[in-house]
Structure 1
């Protein structure tokens, strides 16, 4: 009996014992992460009473929101004018004997240009996530913004397809840290009751950035044509009185949107350097020269504000590193409550991250952009394509686009994008309260196939002005509404699937990698099928054969994985 006892003590632990021990450690370390899942209904009820102004760490969320503008400004801005941009840099082809062939050729090249950005995001996302889990979130976000500013300037001044492709690749590499911004949101707002609003913030900013980017791209491209009062022959900026308009605007007709993007992102970069706080567990007290400079700037601002005022009883609290700029935020915002001294978090092994729940959420996370990104590329090209004579059209066989200019496309997409923002602000939280995150997600998944089936029939209305605009508005509004409901839902579901907070960067990095791969594949495959349909005289081919099929697969997956989640 004694010998058996000694053998039990000295025997090495089995793999099952090790796994059980690891599970206990992880559960103990992350009890605050798992507990809210058991009270989801109650937490959702409490979350419905939370207002935007109740969110904690508002100043950090504000800086993070400005940083989140990097992706839509860098990626979406070219969509309203991509048809004309690609056509202007492509050499003439002897095969382009018809307008349909010309649209098909432009669609193929523009698909490659659009896909370059998310493809490089896919390659870099997981390494960014792992690095941020090791070295911190702040450096990766700031570094990405810096490179993104350079990439936008280079893209705007490019005059060949190869140069455009290079700067798109660089912009994609610099925006591989989008997943880290989602991770920072989860680390800044830890209480479940605030997370619904907090996780809506980045998609809300993304939609706002898309609206801004689409409007800027459509209106500022070809400024001599679209803004003649400023850049035309008699324009305000034509100081040299050139007969055709401002010389540099003629030489670089698509530079202005990209240069303005670079300026806006440069502003976000400055704020991030001065005030973005490190949130990696265990390194929350990190400070560097940027944060110290931010503290100095804030103290100067407070001195100027309080000079001559009757309010002299305020004493600014700061830590020994001079990071008051971080902890207090700007005047008028609530201060961050002092946190409990952090303990060393338990480490989850890499193979332990990929639970069945995480994998299921990742697949849903990737299926959405597989069709949504293809739509975002195909639709502007489709609207820009010249109309066709469809007098002998059948239910499935017809061709041609609407022949709209870039400014019109940008304004239309931006206008209905505002509707998506309002939906996110006022409708999404109420829907989530009533039917839950998965229920809202499923409504969006039902909408997508219906939209894609109906969209190509706009070609049959190209000559009917009023009806065409009404139908176009319905299509755009419905797609934006579905996208607005689906994107925050996938982010919330993926975050809730994480086994521990310490691996959020890795999980969101993997999600961003998968989504980026989908955003690369979608435009390439969609552009190819669109070109094939244009050549065969069946413009609806890409909608029915590709977009509808992928959207139905996403819907089916949401039901197949319901029991697993």
Structure 2
């Protein structure tokens, strides 16, 4: 075989010798620059033991967030704060969902940047402590403000999402990162499956299981404690597992005592000036996605950079699209239990909490199946950008199913056709799950250097938390307004949210066809 004479003769290699990684380029194929031919690097085996512990840890997050969804509308009714006004339930449910993400948005960047210094493990342990305490408190709350305080504590102390993503990137390289993101959603899907089942099945146990709990005054007084205690206890068990078995992935973390001592001194660094003199596009990429030969570690790879220097075009683009899909997805998930629990004559399906929990668990099962068996193949075949856009498009028919379901229920009752369409809507909505793994790849590539990986994930997660704080409240309020005032036949909320999807698709067009390389 004749070797190519220069870089121009090598597929996907630019004239300057850098590798052009198109978004259609398979993630597991790497061009070996200077060799004149395209090779497929052997995939590095995943560190399964540590990877499994991280997935075990990740399960705590969806369990605690999803367990309250099936019974939250009924809990608001039980508190009596709506005065019997059914249309007002959506306002309070949306507020409760938003509080978690609002407090998380205020703190998650701090936790992620802290993990870049003291290590991932200490921050994760703090987050698990917060989840445990807040969920027990939520189950014991009997007032609206008690619920608000518990959810606020849940969000403020939990910075694990961004830290886990940084740890994921540190456990993988360019040959196995897509495979890792294919398996990683197992935890979220399992939590999305088990959470609603637990919340729907174990709420009000004295009424649902009178033989076991009928004589328990405690469970009559605190009807939602048992449902909340399960994820709280899981978080407590996770704390012990992480403490004993998880290995730190951050190289040379600063001991906490030494870190606190250093914080008292004024830090000095010339890095920000050096970065300001560069084109942001030349700042490099995360070590997780090197695209030519061996990953090189420049002089600034271990330097912590200021927040201002993180705001490069690539980080803003990746974080913005992550925020966009999160807004669309959280709006859909916020409306779902409201719609399912609202009486048919008011615009919903009028289902009880345990049926709602079972329906919502179908999403977790099918989403996990799709992610594990097809995500890596889809991204490898179509590229991260096309996968992201395709997943976003699926939100349009998913939202359109809401008014169609109510229309059928009004004319036929809860017929077989209604149930088939309800399951079909859930299956369509699975497409949105493909967007997350795709955008995570862009975020990992957008990090200016290795030391800023946690900060980049934290910044991205902060924007997402802001959207998730806004999304449930706005979507639930629009749902209540549409019903209360019969706006557009009670369907105005769906028209508006489909418009939001169109706007998100426009934002997706700014994602590059070429994955950010060291010299784009």
TM-score of the alignment, normalized to the shorter chain, above 0.5: yes
Equivalent of 1:437 in 380, 384, 404: 384
Equivalent of 2:431 in 465, 479, 482: 482
**2: CA distance, partners of 1:36 / 1:208:** 38
**1: CA distance, partners of 2:431 / 2:297:** 43
Aligned-pair CA distance for 1:471: 0.7
Match of 1:167 in 2: 150
Match of 1:470 in 2: 420
Distance 1:467 1:501, change over 3 A: same
Cα deviation digits, residues 41-65 of structure 1 (max 9, x gap): 36424899989xx743222112211
Cα deviation digits, residues 449-506 of structure 1 (max 9, x gap): 2221232221112214111001111111111x12221111121111112222211100
Equivalent of 1:414 in 330, 347, 361: 361
Aligned-pair CA distance for 1:140: 0.4
Whether contact under 8 Å (1:130, 1:506) holds in the other structure is yes
Distance 1:42 1:109, change over 3 A: closer
**2: CA distance, partners of 1:287 / 1:175:** 19
Is residue 2:445 matched to residue 1:496?
A: yes
Whether contact under 8 Å (1:74, 1:171) holds in the other structure is no
**1: CA distance, partners of 2:298 / 2:50:** 19
User: In the TM superposition, what are the counterparts of 1:86-485 in structure 2 within 5 Å?
Assistant: 86-91=76-81, 93=83, 96=84, 102-189=85-172, 191-226=173-208, 228=209, 232=210, 235=211, 237-238=212-213, 245-283=215-253, 345-347=301-303, 349-350=305-306, 351-388=308-345, 399-462=346-409, 463-479=413-429, 481-485=430-434
User: In the TM superposition, what are the counterparts of 1:31-110 in structure 2 within 5 Å?
Assistant: 38=21, 41=25, 43-45=27-29, 55-91=45-81, 93=83, 96=84, 102-110=85-93
Match of 1:513 in 2: 462
Whether contact under 8 Å (1:103, 1:534) holds in the other structure is no
Q: Structure 2, unaligned stretches of length 5 or more?
A: 1-16, 31-38, 258-295, 516-520
TM-score (norm 1): 0.74
**1: CA distance, partners of 2:153 / 2:108:** 13
**1: CA distance, partners of 2:125 / 2:474:** 33
Aligned-pair CA distance for 1:563: 6.4
Aligned-pair CA distance for 1:287: 12
* Secondary structure of 1:186's aligned partner: helix
Cα deviation digits, residues 417-448 of structure 1 (max 9, x gap): 20111000112121111101111111111111
Distance 1:92 1:559, change over 3 A: closer
Whether contact under 8 Å (2:82, 2:89) holds in the other structure is no
Aligned-pair CA distance for 1:91: 3.5
Cα deviation digits, residues 359-410 of structure 1 (max 9, x gap): 111110111111211211111011101111xxxxxxxxxx421110100010
Distance 1:341 1:366, change over 3 A: closer
**1: CA distance, partners of 2:26 / 2:485:** 56
Distance 1:104 1:55, change over 3 A: farther
* Secondary structure of 1:79's aligned partner: coil
Distance 1:37 1:137, change over 3 A: farther
Q: How many equivalent residue pairs?
A: 446
Match of 1:548 in 2: 498
**1: CA distance, partners of 2:498 / 2:377:** 28
Aligned-pair CA distance for 1:74: 1.6
* Secondary structure of 2:70's aligned partner: helix
Aligned-pair CA distance for 1:564: 8.4
Distance 1:343 1:499, change over 3 A: closer
Distance 1:39 1:104, change over 3 A: closer
Match of 1:316 in 2: none
* Secondary structure of 2:315's aligned partner: helix
**2: CA distance, partners of 1:128 / 1:91:** 35
**2: CA distance, partners of 1:222 / 1:492:** 42
State the Cα RMSD in Å: 2.7
Q: Structure 1, unaligned stretches of length 5 or more?
A: 1-33, 97-101, 239-243, 289-339, 389-398
Distance 1:507 1:128, change over 3 A: same
Distance 1:48 1:345, change over 3 A: closer
Cα deviation digits, residues 32-87 of structure 1 (max 9, x gap): xx988759836424899989xx7432221122112212221221111111110111
TM-score (norm 2): 0.80
Match of 1:318 in 2: none
Whether contact under 8 Å (1:122, 1:176) holds in the other structure is no
**1: CA distance, partners of 2:406 / 2:455:** 44
Cα deviation digits, residues 283-320 of structure 1 (max 9, x gap): 39x899xxxxxxxxxxxxxxxxxxxxxxxxxxxxxxxx
Cα deviation digits, residues 10-32 of structure 1 (max 9, x gap): xxxxxxxxxxxxxxxxxxxxxxx
* Secondary structure of 2:176's aligned partner: helix
